[in-house]
Structure 1
């Protein structure tokens, strides 16, 4: 069982991931923006963060950078439904900033669970 923090400004996504990941045996907490995510990680140790990219207050890229600076060992999976504006691919940038995996919404729950296990086990394909 891992402690997972879900960060998404869409309450339905938070709820869906909380239920799904809890049923998979994980201890899940959800917050709705990057500022709350940073505070949550500072106050409660987590093993992995699933972070949306496009959010108000503090977007996912800023959140990933700050979390990586504070806890470089923290595993992060980036998710986004609006991951490309013009030629800028937010998920590709998230990967460069330290996300171990990235996913477009709508999420494939089975693939997400596999990715979580891979990130937690440090068995990422090269």
Structure 2
């Protein structure tokens, strides 16, 4: 999930081209609702969103279902002396990816996380 409409649509097209079924959410509340009503294979989230940040989403997801893999993406930023993606990893993100990223690196990250998740379960 991301707050940038163009990026959301680009991600949808890319992921569907790789035969992933995509459910989009415009904000953290909608993402939490989608996850509680479905059993997603993976959640892709941005750190910065309008109503709640990706940190809050990761925390909520971990409370709901700690087994759902999360890939967090961010264009940078820091909280104190920690970068956002390190914080996301600490909170339970399965993987992180810096924006901007290539389509190939995103797909590789998603496939790696899904493969690891399948092995662990």
Q: Normalized against structure 2, the TM-score is what?
A: 0.90
Paired residues, number: 117
SS in 1 for 2:23: strand
Say which of 7, 25, 29 aligns to 1:13: 7
What 5-or-longer segments of structure 1 have no aligned partner? Answer: 1-6
Q: Give the structure with the larger strand fraction.
A: 1
- In the other structure, the counterpart of 2:21 is 27
4+ residue runs over 4 A deviation: none
What 5-or-longer segments of structure 2 have no aligned partner? Answer: none
- In the other structure, the counterpart of 2:44 is 50
RMSD value over aligned CA atoms? 1.3
CA–CA distance in structure 2, aligned partners of residues 12 and 116 of structure 1:
20
Deviation, 1:83, is 3.0
Q: Normalized against structure 1, the TM-score is what?
A: 0.87
Deviation, 1:86, is 5.1
Q: Give the structure with the larger helix fraction.
A: 2
